[in-house]
Structure 1
């Protein structure tokens, strides 16, 4: 760890919300446009495995000094509830956003007990609720659809049915971000459905699948923009993206900043990439292979809390 780096960063929340599933399964409503999702539905034994994976991941984060607010999902109607980052986000200054979701069964994930916890434990000034736009088939799936650079105030977003440009512009106006939209697909031409499988922005680095950005000029512009904002750009291969190496999140722990990522993602990184990252953060791999069958990884399971605590 670099002892000269600042201890605290607006990019790295020190608290997260997690949802522990009791009846985990793969969501058939999202399979059509989520190429990262396993074609085979989760079986009954996977439910117990997924429960244990979230429990163990939370315990590891807690040992590193991250505050974890764990909520239970005991219902059977919300197979993707383990991914709370899609339906709400929090922002410094006391701001909270609630988002419109494309799959109908994902709309059931919104939980107002979580919102009440945020109001009770943190300083919430206002709440902006975009979820009513679902009636107009307009969607913006939170920090899955957007990867936010909280320091440079840029919202990176892949063009997708889950990222409506009108709502994105509205969000950026309300929350003081500049939108940077681009098309991305894999080598077979399959469109990337969520931005946060493609890239992760830390305090002074960015993991990004540059080869997936279709337009060369836009690719160069994004790389330059990240570098000019003080980020060391670490390019990920398509295979590393498929192994969720881009689906990570920087957090603030008791001994400094850490990068939470899956064991799958960690094993996909090269030794050189790991060394580059370790100059900035401590890497904390979490084993969630069952959860990853649903098409998301560690970043998706953690909704960061960028709010001031009332403590």
Structure 2
């Protein structure tokens, strides 16, 4: 099922067993911020990006290296070299995604990001080293920026796909099929939002972080929060702006977000995560966040 019908999706989601697959990834991959700088094309529809003067390549590189070191405590984490011609490549989860036995290559909206999909080394890693079958969506017409646009509950096989200039309905359907999901809900993001994973996270199949201001229809945010209640963090505008929604569970007992996001999270919301059995881990990423994404955007998952 892939639908805009909130009631139909909610009914299917409530009945979906937690047997679709592992709730968290087996490993993670990153791409180094080599040549880290403002991507003018991406800035056209990413309101979170800072101006060029705020980009500090050396600080971004050091923080990214610390991110890899930190998450490697809970999951194997490999890092591919960056490329100055692809300044947004530090956010690889938009371009490469995985599911059991396969890997998916997304279709990026902006030409500067479309270059990332041509990387032979990353494709060869999935194809030749891991033996994954390729599903290549990069050459078709509809934008579908993978797990930037599509937040997935891997335990239950549920997709939450926010539509924007980075993903249309046709792209959502292609991703639903590529990841083999049981049910996907399509909905419009609020004006000015570019990716779903900035306003929504599903954590280890049993908790959610929802930023209502990022949804065009508040009823969608409410329904998702209800689906994961009582383990649903409903973010304030301040938490949203600090990238609290851009978080990820990398193990059954840990949730990761940037240090700025963690500092913005209220004590009550920290307790919601703790009650769900999720230990909060943070890494300083203010330099990376100048590029309009945060911790979750930096992490590609290997299932």
Q: TM-score, normalised by structure 2?
A: 0.86
2:189 to 165, 181, 184: 184
Partner of residue 309, structure 1: none
Corresponding residue SS for 2:185: strand
- Please give the alpha-carbon distance, in whole angstroms, between the structure 1 residues aligned to 2:28 and 2:179: 20
* CA deviation map 1:207-249 (0-9, x unaligned): 011243232433333333444xxx7211011221110000011
- Please give the alpha-carbon distance, in whole angstroms, between the structure 2 residues aligned to 1:18 and 1:216: 33
1:84·1:302 contact (CA, 8 Å) conserved in 2?
Answer: yes
* C-alpha deviation, 1:120, in angstroms: 4.4
2:262 to 258, 262, 266: 266
CA 1:284/1:71 → structure 2, altered by over 3 Å: closer, same or farther? same
1:25·1:42 contact (CA, 8 Å) conserved in 2?
Answer: no
2:212·2:218 contact (CA, 8 Å) conserved in 1?
Answer: no
Q: TM-score, normalised by structure 1?
A: 0.84
Partner of residue 224, structure 2: 222
Partner of residue 48, structure 1: 58
* Unaligned 5+ runs, structure 2: 1-17
2:89 to 81, 84, 87: 81
1:195 equivalent to 2:203? Answer: no
1:109 to 116, 133, 155: 116
- Please give the alpha-carbon distance, in whole angstroms, between the structure 1 residues aligned to 2:178 and 2:31: 27
* C-alpha deviation, 1:121, in angstroms: 4.3
- Please give the alpha-carbon distance, in whole angstroms, between the structure 2 residues aligned to 1:217 and 1:83: 29
CA 1:82/1:174 → structure 2, altered by over 3 Å: closer, same or farther? closer
Question: Counterparts of 1:156-305 in structure 2 under 5 Å?
Answer: 156-177=160-181, 178-185=183-190, 190-203=191-204, 204-227=206-229, 232-252=231-251, 257-279=253-275, 280-305=277-302
Query: What count of residue pairs does the alignment treat as equivalent?
Result: 280
- Please give the alpha-carbon distance, in whole angstroms, between the structure 2 residues aligned to 1:56 and 1:219: 33
1:22 equivalent to 2:29? Answer: no
* Unaligned 5+ runs, structure 1: 1-5, 307-311
- Please give the alpha-carbon distance, in whole angstroms, between the structure 2 residues aligned to 1:303 and 1:41: 28
* C-alpha deviation, 1:145, in angstroms: 0.8
- Please give the alpha-carbon distance, in whole angstroms, between the structure 2 residues aligned to 1:226 and 1:176: 22
CA RMSD of aligned residues (A): 2.0
* CA deviation map 1:46-71 (0-9, x unaligned): 11111111111111112x23211111
